[in-house]
């Protein structure tokens, strides 16, 4: 169970790189874990049937998430030179079809899900949920890029906090995200969104085993 908790925490932290924004100048985020720090630049490419959220990390990782007009994911590509990963995931009904290279070897597999949405760019896809300020749980699927497996996740709004962002106080809506089911009792990750437009502002969570430093992701500037 501990290993599964660690993997799911990594899912949540990785998913945080796909950021909700209108088609405008790229946004920059700072990702910090202990003394390690990287920058993340996010841009949106508009399509006739939705958009693609491009995320580029300073350590070479790339994540591209294509969403439809309802903000559900239809296609995901992940590239990690360090992990020898370059594959895509495409939704075909109740299957997520994985194809490409995983840990340096060809991969071709299908992951079965149900009718619930796939939100790989969950910070973007949770826009309507955040704007509603609902306290009811929302269930959705996420692919763990370093495992090429799919997990059922749960988001729940928890209220307004005052946070410090880029040295300034801000009011933000806190959303708790965890695995669906019994694992939600053992760990959580937290996201904060700007109430006026659901812009993702901050993430906090543990991406590793007990004792691993907490990871934070913060928007730089006004966004």
- Hey, what's the torsion of the CAs at 84, 52, 41, 192, to 10 degrees? -110
3-class DSSP state for residue 180? coil
pLDDT at 7: 42
Interatomic CA distance for residues 172 and 202, integer angstroms:
9
3-class DSSP state for residue 145? coil
pLDDT (tens, 9 = 90+) of the chain, 223 residues, equals 434 444 444 455 555 444 444 445 799 999 999 999 999 999 999 999 999 999 999 999 999 999 999 999 999 999 999 999 999 999 999 999 999 999 999 999 999 999 999 999 988 899 999 999 999 999 999 999 999 999 999 999 999 999 999 889 999 999 999 999 766 556 689 999 999 999 999 999 988 777 889 999 999 987 7
Measured CA distances, 39 to 45, 48, 76, 121, 204 (Å): 20, 30, 21, 18, 16
- Hey, what's the torsion of the CAs at 124, 128, 129, 133, to 10 degrees? 120
Its pTM stands at: 0.86
Could you tell me which of 1, 11, 2 has the C-alpha nearest to residue 76? 11
pLDDT at 162: 97
Strands (DSSP E) contained in the chain are: 27-33, 36-47, 50-57, 62-67, 73-80, 85-92, 95-102, 105-112, 138-144, 149-165, 168-179, 189-193, 200-205, 215-219
Asked if 111 contacts 96 with a C-beta cutoff of 8 angstroms, the reply is yes
The encoded tokens of residue 162 equal: 């005052």
pLDDT at 210: 76
Hey, which residues does 97 pair with through a beta bridge?
90, 110
Backbone angles phi, psi at 217, to 5 degrees: -125, 125
pLDDT at 109: 98
Backbone angles phi, psi at 110, to 5 degrees: -120, 135
Record: fold of 2-219: outer membrane lipoprotein receptor (LolB), chain A (2.50.20)
Q: How many CA atoms lie within 13 A of 166 on its CB side?
A: 11
40-51 per-position pLDDT tens digit: 999 999 999 999
Contacts with 88 (C-beta within 8 Å, 6 or more apart), sequence order:
75, 76, 77, 98, 99, 100
Asked if 8 contacts 207 with a C-beta cutoff of 8 angstroms, the reply is no
pLDDT at 174: 97
pLDDT at 8: 47
pLDDT at 1: 45
164-200 per-position pLDDT tens digit: 998 899 999 999 999 997 665 566 899 999 999 999 9
pLDDT at 16: 46
Asked if 223 contacts 170 with a C-beta cutoff of 8 angstroms, the reply is no
Give the domain ranges of the chain.
2-219
């Amino acid at each position: 169970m501990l290993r599964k908790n660690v993997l799911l925490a990594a899912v949540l932290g990785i998913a945080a790189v796909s950021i909700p924004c209108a088609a405008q100048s790229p946004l920059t985020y700072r990702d910090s874990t202990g003394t390690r720090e990287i920058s993340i630049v996010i841009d949106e490419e508009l399509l006739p049937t939705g958009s693609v959220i491009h995320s580029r990390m300073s350590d070479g990782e790339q994540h591209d998430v294509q969403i439809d007009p309802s903000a559900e994911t239809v296609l995901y590509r992940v590239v990690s030179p360090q992990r020898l990963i370059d594959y895509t995931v495409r939704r075909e009904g109740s299957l997520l079809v994985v194809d490409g290279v995983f840990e340096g070897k060809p991969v071709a597999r299908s992951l079965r899900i149900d009718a619930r949405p796939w939100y790989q760019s969950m910070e973007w896809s949770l826009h309507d949920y955040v704007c509603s300020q609902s306290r009811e749980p929302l269930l959705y699927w996420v692919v763990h890029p370093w495992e090429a497996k799919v997990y059922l996740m749960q988001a729940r709004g928890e209220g307004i906090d005052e946070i410090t962002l880029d040295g300034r106080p801000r009011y933000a809506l806190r959303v708790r995200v965890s695995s669906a089911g019994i694992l939600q009792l053992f760990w959580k990750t937290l996201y904060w969104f700007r109430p006026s437009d659901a812009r993702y502002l901050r993430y906090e969570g543990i991406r590793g085993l007990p004792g691993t430093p907490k990871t934070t992701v913060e928007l730089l500037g006004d966004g």
